[in-house]
């Protein structure tokens, strides 16, 4: 269990109250981020404690200890910290971003809450949008004091390759699941490769993972002639990536016969944020979104608002059958998106549904809305096929 404080001792964001050799690192759970983070932090010699995957217990802990009205991602992030501290973590890592999204204040709120609960720890915060790789290296050096360049190279290389491999597996699962001849083949293949990717530690082995994933998924028998509508899944970063939070919406859609194209993947974000711009030769996802959203938004306002609008316009102009927008309750940037999407849906002639998530969201009502939207999309696709 994490050591607790006496009194109101101040906790700084980059202090050194805990000797480097005694640091035990933890970070919030979100989708498959752990595969990359664990590879990197392990490579530079730091000890790790992993909180359990997001679940009902974590949600209850987060709700109990959060201020009223704060969004669902924060509640789960806070719960992850509490559960990690109880398992022995003493150094917490957190990303931070500017803009109108409350994400920029998560760290300060969590620090104060955890301090008031009596936990003693160091907090390491880095802003991925300020100096990118410099900020990232500084943060990881702070928690490990590792001076070996090869360890950083191995950590980043294995982390990146694992992210590319698991995201490739997800994309293939989304394509195959509604077309598979034997129900469950795609998910079984995905789970198998998740374990392999997690267990692979060698640099050479990680570099081969993506190719091996593609080869294995291609062996799954599918119905290539089946009519399968394609739906873009977009919205706030956390709820898109975390299957517990979004109630496994991708699986639900796949089992209803819909191919999902999620518009945010961790590997895409890593590549754009950390890779120097002069090495990024293709148009990034964000750049494309800014271009397509220009008619409806002139500038970014924080969060994933401009991505949400840009992706919806792009979907409408590229034959996508529908868009599902998911967001946490009270998320200001996505509330703006939700209002703009009404106009985008009408003018671009594409069905759009917004799903708002919080701890009160029930599975049954959620499922019913998705099923009704899928019926609408399938009818529209059938009508378009008959007219061509």
pLDDT in tens, 120-145: 998 887 665 555 667 777 778 777 88
- Residue 189 predicted with pLDDT over 90: yes
Check residue 132 and give its pLDDT.
Answer: 61
In which band, very low, low, confident or very high, does the pLDDT at 356 lie, cut at 50, 70 and 90? very high
The residue-averaged pLDDT of 58-79 equals 91
Residues 6+ apart with CB under 8 A from 197: 35, 162, 165, 166, 169, 209, 213
Better pLDDT: 377 or 95? 377
Fold of domain 228-388: Rossmann fold (3.40.50)
Cα(324)–Cα(326) distance, rounded to whole angstroms? 6
Helix axes 149-176, 203-217, angle to 10 degrees: 10
214 CB-contact burial (10 Å; exposed 0-12 / middle 13-18 / buried 19+): middle
The residue-averaged pLDDT of 28-41 equals 90
DSSP labels for 6-47?
Answer: SS-----TT---S-GGG-EEE----TTHHHHHHHHHHHTT-E
- Residue 12 predicted with pLDDT over 70: no
**188-204: buried (b, 16+ CB within 10 Å) or exposed (e) per residue?**
ebbeebbebbeebeebe
* Range in 137-151, 173-187, 196-210, 217-231 with the lowest mean pLDDT: 137-151
Token pair for 315: 């979907």
Check residue 271 and give its pLDDT.
Answer: 67
- Residues of the chain with pLDDT > 90, as a percent, come to 58
Check residue 11 and give its pLDDT.
Answer: 35
As a whole number, the mean pLDDT across the chain is 87
Token pair for 183: 């129900």
Cα(80)–Cα(52) distance, rounded to whole angstroms? 8
Taking 3-state DSSP, the helix, strand and coil percentages for the chain, each rounded to the nearest 5, stand at 55, 10, 35
Helix axes 33-43, 149-176, angle to 10 degrees: 160
∠ CA(261), CA(264), CA(267), 5° rounding? 110
* Range in 54-68, 97-111, 305-319, 362-376 with the lowest mean pLDDT: 97-111
Q: What is the CATH number of domain 20-145?
A: 3.40.50
Q: Do domains 20-145 and 228-388 have the same CATH topology?
A: yes
Cα(23)–Cα(260) distance, rounded to whole angstroms? 41
* Range in 89-98, 182-191, 238-247, 344-353 with the lowest mean pLDDT: 89-98
* Range in 138-147, 212-221, 233-242, 348-357 with the lowest mean pLDDT: 138-147
Check residue 352 and give its pLDDT.
Answer: 96
The residue-averaged pLDDT of 159-179 equals 95
Check residue 316 and give its pLDDT.
Answer: 95
Check residue 4 and give its pLDDT.
Answer: 44
Token pair for 61: 């802990």
- Residues of the chain with pLDDT > 70, as a percent, come to 88
- Residue 263 predicted with pLDDT over 70: yes
Domain boundary assignment for the chain: 20-145, 156-176+179-225, 228-388
């Amino acid at each position: 269990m994490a050591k607790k404080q006496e009194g109101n001792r101040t906790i700084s964001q980059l202090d050194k109250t805990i000797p480097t050799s005694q640091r035990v690192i933890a970070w919030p759970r979100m989708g498959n981020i752990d595969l990359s983070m664990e590879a990197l932090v392990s490579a530079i010699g730091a000890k790790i404690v992993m909180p359990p995957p997001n679940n009902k217990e974590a949600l209850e802990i987060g709700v109990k200890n959060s201020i009223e009205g704060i969004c669902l991602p924060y509640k789960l992030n806070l719960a992850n910290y509490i559960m990690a501290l109880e398992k022995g973590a003493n150094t917490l890592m957190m990303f931070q971003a500017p803009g109108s999204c409350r994400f920029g204040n998560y760290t300060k709120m969590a620090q104060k809450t955890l301090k008031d609960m009596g936990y003693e720890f160091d907090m390491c915060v880095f802003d991925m949008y300020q100096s990118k790789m410099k900020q990232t290296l500084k943060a990881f050096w702070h928690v490990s004091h590792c001076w070996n360049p090869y360890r950083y190279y191995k950590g980043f290389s294995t982390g990146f390759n694992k992210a590319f491999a698991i995201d490739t597996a997800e994309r293939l699962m989304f394509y195959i699941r509604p077309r598979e001849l034997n129900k469950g083949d795609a998910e079984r293949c995905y789970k198998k490769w998740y374990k392999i990717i997690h267990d692979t530690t060698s640099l050479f082995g990680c570099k081969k993972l993506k190719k091996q994933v593609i080869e294995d998924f291609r062996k799954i028998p599918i119905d290539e002639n089946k009519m399968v509508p394609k739906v873009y899944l977009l919205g706030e970063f956390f709820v898109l990536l975390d299957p517990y939070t979004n109630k496994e919406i991708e699986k639900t859609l796949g089992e209803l016969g819909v191919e999902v194209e999620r518009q945010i993947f961790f590997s895409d974000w890593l590549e754009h944020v950390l890779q120097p711009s002069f090495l990024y030769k293709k148009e990034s996802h964000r750049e494309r979104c800014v271009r397509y959203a220009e008619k409806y938004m002139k500038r970014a306002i924080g969060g994933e608002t401009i991505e949400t609008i840009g992706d919806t316009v792009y979907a409408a102009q590229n034959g996508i059958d529908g868009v599902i927008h998911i967001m946490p309750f009270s998320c200001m940037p996505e509330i703006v998106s939700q209002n703009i999407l009404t106009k985008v849906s009408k003018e671009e002639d594409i069905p759009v549904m917004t799903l708002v998530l919080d701890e009160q969201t029930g599975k049954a009502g959620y499922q019913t809305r998705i099923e009704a939207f899928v019926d609408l999309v399938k009818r529209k696709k059938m009508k378009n096929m008959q007219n061509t």
